[in-house]
């Protein structure tokens, strides 16, 4: 996922994090300067849904505008196709009474 707050805000004429912070405060969400700076410059690790809701209301957008999927990064994390699903992956472990799934 790519965090797109800065670009979404710029598309709506908000060019500075201080302006965004002021608008969030007017909407009832008080954000510290440090937190606003982190939201503005980096992808947040976590965010309260209530905060995301206020951001979307202020920017008149949806979460899909702020969170951009990056399927290429997901594909890069997958194991190589040749290694996945081999017989060695399906072998039962010793000491466990499980059968091998049908081929």
Cβ-based neighbours of 28, under 8 Å, separated by 6 or more: 54
- For residue 84, pLDDT over 80 is answered with no
Q: Count H helices, E strands: the chain?
A: 7, 2
- pTM (2 d.p.): 0.70
| Cβ 82 vs Cβ 41: under 8 Å | no
- For residue 12, pLDDT over 80 is answered with yes
- Identify the sign of the CA torsion 23, 28, 33, 35: negative
Point out the least confidently predicted range of 33-37, 63-67, 78-82, 88-92.
Answer: 88-92
Q: Using CA atoms, how far apart are residues 15 and 87, in angstroms rounded to an integer?
A: 56
- For residue 97, pLDDT over 70 is answered with no
Binning pLDDT at 50, 70 and 90, where does residue 72 land? confident
Domains of the chain and CATH, by start: 2-73 (1.10.260)
| Residue 18: CB atoms within 10 Å | 13
Q: Which residue has the higher pLDDT, 54 or 98?
A: 54
């Amino acid at each position: 996922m790519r965090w797109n707050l800065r670009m979404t805000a710029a598309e709506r004429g908000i060019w500075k994090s201080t302006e965004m912070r002021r608008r969030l405060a007017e909407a009832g969400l008080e954000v510290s300067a440090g937190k606003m700076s982190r939201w503005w410059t980096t992808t947040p690790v976590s965010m309260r849904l209530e905060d995301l809701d206020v951001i979307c209301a202020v920017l008149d957008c949806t979460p899909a505008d702020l969170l951009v999927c990056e399927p290429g990064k997901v594909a890069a994390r997958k194991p190589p196709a040749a290694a996945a699903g081999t017989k060695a992956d399906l072998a039962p472990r010793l000491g466990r009474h499980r059968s091998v799934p049908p081929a």
